[in-house]
Amino acid sequence: MTKKYTIQDKPFIVPTNDGKVIKEHFGNATDGNSNISIAYMTAPSGWSEPFQSPEFDEYTIVLKGKKQFIIEGERIVLSAGQSIKIEKNTRVQYSNPFTEPCEYIAICMPAFSINLVNRED
């Protein structure tokens, strides 16, 4: 009988140079799944990414701290317990300008790929 579940206890640690910790549990880097990626992330105080227009829907659930989103020019701040869906091809910037780290789960459909994120210079 084939098992119908997968336990992930060794997520792929995505290399970064900005202090953010990314642990992909399922997705392209971990199990080759290009349909969905699920990652647990910790963004340190002062962290930010360039603006981007990803070719995937991204769902974010904030677990601790706060996370800032600038979506099509609108500033949105989420706190622990809140979540958001950002539709694909939407211009967005992610950041944590706050004093404490932010922990969150990110789910991307299709899966996150550096080729699909379209970061601006």
Distance CA 8, CA 20 (A): 21
Is the pLDDT assigned to residue 63 strictly greater than 90?
A: yes
Q: What domains are there in the chain, each with its CATH number?
A: 13-117 (2.60.120.10)
Question: Residue 121's pLDDT band (boundaries 50, 70, 90)?
Answer: confident
Residues 6 or more apart whose CB falls under 8 angstroms from that of 30 comprise 8, 11, 12, 24
pLDDT at position 1:
85
Q: What is the pTM of this model?
A: 0.94
| Average of per-residue pLDDT values in the chain | 97
Q: What is the mean pLDDT of residues 63-69?
A: 98
Sheet with 57-64, side-by-side order of all strands? 12-14, 21-26, 37-43, 102-109, 57-64, 83-86
Residues 6 or more apart whose CB falls under 8 angstroms from that of 9 comprise none
